[in-house]
Amino acid sequence: MARCCLARTVTVVSLTVNLSAVGLPASSCHLLHPLLQPLREVAYSVYPAHWFHLYSVNMSSYYDSKEKSHHSKALTSPYPGSSVERSKVPSDKVGWLVEWKDYSPVEYTAASILAGPKWADPQISDKHFSLKFNEKDGQVERKSLSGLYKIENGRPRNPVGRTGLVGRGLLGRWGPNHAADPIITRWKRDKSGSRIAHPVSGKNILQFVAIKRKDCGEWAIPGGMVDPGEKISATLKREFSEEALNSLQKCAAEIKELEQQLDRLFNQQHLVVYKGYVDDPRNTDNAWLETEAVNYHDESGETMDNMPLEAGDDAGKVKWVDISEKLKLYANHSHFIKLVAEKRGAHWMEEPVTDCQK
């Protein structure tokens, strides 16, 4: 077991050294990045995209090397909200570097997107519409957290690989669709106010606010899409307020009081646990989800005790959920929660830790 750990460590260090040895200054990364594209795609076939940011590297957002290095939920059928079946993509042909001349993905963009809501892009074929990919396009952020993505036949290409479907599906933007996920946590306590430790791991149990999505019935972090020109911090606060506190249905006096409580929570020191690609079932070859997951922790529990949870907007239900490896959440939200538990030193696994995991 020690040998397998060493091999894995050497592999990661080797990739890190090879990339960093390029010696690109931050200001020139954007311009020279296409020269590194072949190396970057090889790396993607082994490790997740967000490991190889050339803009900023946040090691708190790493994946376990044991986890899948490519998307899986983005390959599921039928496509959400439809009866559309994706073309089947074998796991060994997800990566774009693998030649597949017979690849014939299904074309699908939902009627609700083609209807042209204000938050969605028009079709690329629209003569009166032009896009600026890999950069800020007016108020719309079209840069990817994974670095530069390729454009083929006028369409952006999913940086993680094939999905069996082209078009935008249910996603409004061509290319990256930016979201924000606020992870609100507190310690689980008994009636006397003392923290409750897990009987097996001995670590304190952490809880987070989860919502049950109306569209698929899965439990998830109460996040949402970043509006054009909106700061991530504002999105995090707005989405939690709308989905977990039902702020859209409250009167002016209630909203004012709620804002004061939210300010105390969201103005404190926070932890950015992840920035990058999301393995979302809505992803296509030309449109995909990216997110910034941020943890706001109520250490004493007093702030959230005065904030009654109430489902609203896209949420069917909302509640505090104990954090553990048994969680089954939407997309790759379980991974974000795991990162929070690790950073907070909270319970996650019931199994004893082996020497290889230390």
Q: What is the pLDDT of residues 67-118, one digit of tens each?
A: 344 799 999 999 999 999 999 999 999 999 999 999 999 999 999 999 999 9
Q: Sort strands 175-187 and 287-298 into parallel, antiparallel or unpaired.
A: parallel
Tell me how far apart the alpha carbons of residues 183 and 208 are, in angstroms, rounded to a whole number.
7
Which segments within the chain are labelled E, that is strand? Answer: 106-109, 136-137, 140-141, 151-152, 155-156, 165-169, 175-187, 206-213, 219-220, 224-225, 271-277, 287-298, 315-322
- Decide if 347 contacts 323 (C-beta within 8 A): yes
From the list 282, 266, 268, 269, the residue with the least C-alpha distance to 232 is 266
In the chain, what are the domain boundaries?
73-344
Structure tokens at 181: 């996920």
**In this model, does residue 287 exceed pLDDT 80?**
yes
At 215 the pLDDT is 85
Which pair of tokens denotes residue 294?
A: 């941020």
Residue 216 phi, psi (nearest 5) = -130, -10
Whose tokens are 């083929």? That residue is 152
Query: Is residue 272 scored above 50 in pLDDT?
Result: yes
Q: Which CATH superfamily does the domain covering 73-344 fall into?
A: Nucleoside Triphosphate Pyrophosphohydrolase (3.90.79.10)
Cβ distance 245 to 307 under 8 Å?
Answer: yes
Q: CB of 170 within 8 A of CB of 119?
A: no
Is the bond leading into 78 cis (omega within 30 degrees of zero)? yes
Query: How many CA atoms does the CB half-sphere of 76 hold within 13 Å?
Result: 12
- What gap in Å lies between CA 158 and CA 147, rounded to an integer? 12
pLDDT digits (tens, 9 = 90+) for 318-334: 999 999 999 999 988 99
CB 274 within 8 A of CB 292: yes
CA R_g for the chain? 21
The mean pLDDT of the chain is 82
Q: What is the pLDDT of residue 353?
A: 54
pLDDT (tens digit per residue) in 161-212: 999 999 999 999 999 999 999 999 999 999 999 999 999 999 999 999 999 9
Is pLDDT larger for residue 57 or for residue 166? 166
Q: Would you tell me the crossing angle of helices 2-20 and 37-44 to the nearest 10 degrees?
A: 160
Whether the pTM exceeds 0.85: the reply is no
Find the mean pLDDT for residues 119-126: 92
Give the distance from CA 268 to its chain's centroid: 22
- Give 309 or 43, the one with higher predicted confidence: 309
Residues 249-255: what's their mean pLDDT? Answer: 88
